[in-house]
């Protein structure tokens, strides 16, 4: 029962992350917002790392992988989502990001030998992307306005998350569950620092208290604390149950946006959400069981090929 509570809590926290990105990103430019988010979260996790006396990787391969994770699971998606949400609702962003597992399956088909694209998986991918198309219908009717590019940025973020999942699945073995997010957030913050200084002039910014508060909550609760919950679930419940958070995030994301930001829920959002969840469900169901079992060991850094989130 406690594990189910943690799962629901994680889904609620990661769903709320889109709301906090919306609030903070309206006043803090994307590069600076992501730099502050990753740096604060990395420092918080480094404290956990020290308390747990976790070993720090000393191989070049491990740090190259952590850097790649920092780019594809941090720099690209965090920046794309932050910028995208300046033009679209937080609820819509959470739904579009839910397409991440669909990209993972496509990338895995070309990159691995044991995760081929079967007919059921292909049907799931097609169903999910039909949901994405449904979400784009209003903007396609209006032309290529900023709202369209905002949605497109979120899709890029979902694809980047999907690639990061595959990188972790293939190359992050042997890195602890605390060190993995710490390393990727630290490398992401290092990469984002010059971008923030050059393009945003962060020292001249004067964000409001709600924007600062949203950033702090996102960094400490939605990033570092959420990672702790995420990997606790991996260790105590296994990969399959942990991957259920995939279905909770867009639902809670829409609910948070509607409840606290007054965002309307259009019929396209509902239909698109249902199609994407159905597609992801079919893809997950069609995944080979041996991979789910192997991913659930404590040494694994991701719960499944479809379940790596870093909201």
Q: What share of the chain is helix, strand, coil (3-state, %, to 5)?
A: 80, 0, 20
As given in the structure block, the two tokens for residue 159 are: 């694809």
Per-residue model confidence as pLDDT tens digits over 25-80? 999 999 999 999 999 999 999 999 999 999 899 999 999 999 999 999 999 999 99
The mean pLDDT of 167-177, rounded to a whole number, is 87
Q: Nearest CA to 304 among 247, 221, 226?
A: 247
Confidence of residue 290 (pLDDT cuts 50, 70, 90): very low
Question: Is the torsion defined by CA of 151, 155, 160, 164 positive or negative?
Answer: positive
Residue in the structure block whose two tokens are 């070993």: 55
Tell me how far apart the alpha carbons of residues 283 and 119 are, in angstroms, rounded to a whole number.
10
pLDDT of the residue at 242: 85
Which pair of structure tokens corresponds to residue 65?
Answer: 């992988």
Residue for token pair 């007054």? 262
Answer for the pair 233, 7: CB distance below 8 angstroms, yes or no. yes
- H helix or E strand, kind and range, residue 185: helix 179-199
Q: What pTM was computed for the model?
A: 0.91
pLDDT at 305 exceeding the cut of 70: no
3-state secondary structure of 281: helix
Per DSSP, 204 falls in state G
Contacts 24+ apart (CB under 8 A), 104-109: 104/162, 104/163, 104/165, 104/166, 104/305, 104/306, 104/308, 105/283, 105/305, 105/306, 106/162, 107/162, 107/163, 107/166, 108/166, 108/169, 108/305
What is the model's pLDDT at position 243? 84
| Cα 263 to chain centroid, rounded | 21
Tell me the CA distances in angstroms from 288 to 55, 105, 236, 297, one per residue in order. 32, 12, 21, 16
Going from the C-alpha of 167 to that of each of 103, 113, 125, 163, 219, the distances in angstroms are 13, 14, 20, 6, 23
> What confidence category does residue 1 fall into, taking pLDDT thresholds of 50, 70 and 90?
confident
The answer to whether 286 and 136 have CB atoms below 8 angstroms apart is no
Comparing CA positions, the residue from 33, 49, 86 lying closest to residue 178 is 49
Whether 217 has a pLDDT exceeding 80, the answer reads yes
To the nearest 10°, the Cα dihedral for 74, 78, 80, 82?
-170
As a whole number of angstroms, the distance between CA 86 and CA 17 comes to 14
Q: What is the pLDDT of residues 129-140, one digit of tens each?
A: 999 999 999 888
Is the pLDDT confidence value at 308 over 70?
no
Q: How far is CA 262 from the centre of its chain?
A: 23
Q: 169 is written with which tokens?
A: 């699945």
Q: Which run of H or of E encompasses 224? A: none
How far, in Å, CA of 278 to CA of 294, rounded?
A: 25
Whole-angstrom distance, CA of residue 302 vs CA of residue 306 = 9
């Amino acid at each position: 029962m406690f594990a189910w509570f943690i799962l629901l809590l994680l889904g609620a926290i990661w769903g709320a992350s889109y709301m906090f990105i919306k609030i903070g990103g309206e006043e803090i430019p994307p590069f600076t917002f992501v730099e502050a988010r990753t740096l604060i979260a990395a420092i918080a996790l480094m404290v956990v790392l020290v308390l747990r006396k976790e070993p720090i990787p000393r191989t070049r391969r491990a740090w190259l992988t952590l850097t790649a994770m920092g780019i594809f699971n941090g720099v690209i998606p965090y920046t794309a989502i932050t910028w995208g949400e300046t033009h679209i609702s937080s609820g819509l962003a959470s739904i579009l990001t839910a397409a991440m597992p669909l990209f993972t399956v496509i990338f895995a088909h070309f990159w691995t030998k044991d995760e081929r694209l079967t007919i059921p998986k292909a049907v799931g991918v097609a169903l999910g992307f039909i949901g994405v198309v449904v979400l784009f219908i209003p903007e396609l009717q209006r032309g290529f306005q900023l709202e369209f590019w905002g949605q497109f940025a979120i899709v890029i973020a979902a694809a980047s998350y999907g690639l990061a999942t595959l990188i972790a699945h293939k190359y992050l073995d042997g890195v602890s569950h605390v060190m993995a997010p710490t390393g990727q957030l630290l490398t992401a913050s290092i990469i984002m620092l010059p971008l923030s200084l050059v393009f945003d002039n962060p020292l001249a910014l004067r964000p409001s208290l709600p924007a600062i508060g949203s950033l702090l909550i996102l960094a400490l609760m939605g990033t570092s604390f959420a990672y702790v919950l995420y990997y606790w679930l991996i260790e105590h419940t296994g990969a399959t149950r942990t991957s259920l958070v995939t279905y909770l995030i867009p639902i809670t994301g829409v609910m948070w946006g509607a409840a606290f930001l007054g965002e309307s829920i259009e019929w396209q959002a509902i239909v698109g959400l249902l199609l994407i969840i159905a597609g992801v469900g079919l893809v997950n169901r069609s995944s080979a069981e041996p991979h789910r079992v192997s991913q659930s060991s404590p040494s694994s850094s991701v719960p499944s090929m479809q379940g790596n989130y870093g909201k």
